[in-house]
Amino acid sequence: MSTRTRPVRRNLSLRAAFTEFLRHPSPWMIAATLVAALTARLALGDWQPTDALVPLLALAAFPAIEWVIHVTVLHWRPRRLGPVSIDSELARKHREHHADPRDIPLIFIPPRSLLVTIAVLTAIALLAFPRTELGLTVLLTITVLGIAYEWTHYLIHTDYKPKRALYRAVWRNHRHHHYRNEHYWFTVTSSGTADRLLGTYPDPDTVAASPTARHLHGLDKLP
């Protein structure tokens, strides 16, 4: 795993950060899905009250969903079932990300895993809802949240410095997760939401630095 130390760009602008953001595939993949879902949704029309409820419910649930994915998928501890290794690409790449939080490509969702996720979500949107229009509204909402997640997570790991209190709290929350203790502060796009609800939002001054924050589970490779 990479453990290179990268130079700090103390005056990184938001524009420069965004330019770098656009050099990576996952934002474009999510954005393409967003545009396709929006185009199809506008073409079908038939807007109903349930379509308005979808983004409201998604925004309310997103911190908890983010927390669950972070804990159960990204922090999955690799296991063996006989000769078979049970370890997803997402978990492997996330361990690499913890080992080197400043390695920019490791900040983003791996393209192969993202492609599978987009395909699954698209199938669910088209097949699992009583109205195709509602399914597309769900897919559109998920892609908006997805691009917001990618941007927020990326920006936290750059040298862009927080200028507003809301982003500063989010920035500090995720930095504590990486540099103090990986067992707490699992939300990325919010601070003190699902973590507070689920008991992973302690006072940082009461939490000891974890020796495995940079090497999740104390493992450098699959056992």
| Residues 79/86, Cβ–Cβ less than 8 Å | yes
Note the pTM of the prediction, 2 decimals.
Answer: 0.91
Q: What is the pLDDT of residue 82?
A: 85
- The residue extents of the domains of the chain are 14-218
Burial class (CB in 10 A: 0-12, 13-18, 19+), 127: exposed
In the predicted model, what is the mean pLDDT of residues 37-60?
97
Residue 69 tokens read as: 């994915």
| Cα 75 off chain centre by | 12
- pLDDT for 149-199, tens place per residue? 999 999 999 999 999 999 999 999 999 999 999 999 999 999 999 999 999
How far is Cα 209 from Cα 104, in angstroms, rounded to an integer? 24
